[in-house]
Amino acid sequence: MISGLNRSVNSLLTAEGDEPRLRKAAQDLEASFLREMLKSAGLNATQSGFGGGIGEDQFASFLTEAQAQEIARAGGIGLAETIFEAMKGRMNDTVDHG
């Protein structure tokens, strides 16, 4: 997984002026992290008793994904900005040394 992430980052770092793409990639990565944290916290766990049954279980992941994307889009926990700055710095190193 890490090598795949490195290839993805390297492909983003090939051209100057790609800040919007870098920012989107960083935001998507933060959303993925938040999605896993929301799942681990059991935020969308099916209620026992009068829950929505199997349909609720199947669609809970869509809700969790939407919540994570919205949290990240609204500023998240600051992870996206940190990732963005790191990728931007790496892009500058690649352009300077490339």
Residue spans of the domains in the chain: they are 27-41+51-98
Question: What does the pLDDT average to over 82-86?
Answer: 91
Q: What is residue 46's predicted lDDT score, i.e. its pLDDT? A: 64
For residue 88, pLDDT over 50 is answered with yes
pLDDT in tens, 9-41: 556 555 556 788 889 999 999 999 999 999 898
Q: What share of the chain is helix, strand, coil (3-state, %, to 5)?
A: 75, 0, 25
Tell me the CA distances in angstroms from 62 to 29, 69, 78, 83, one per residue in order.
17, 11, 23, 25
pTM, 2 dp = 0.68
- pLDDT for 66 equals 93
What rounded mean pLDDT belongs to the chain? 79
Q: Report d(CA 31, CA 71) in Å as an integer.
A: 7
Residue 16's region, left for phi above 0, alpha for psi from -120 to 50, else beta, is beta
Q: Is the pLDDT of residue 72 over 50?
A: yes
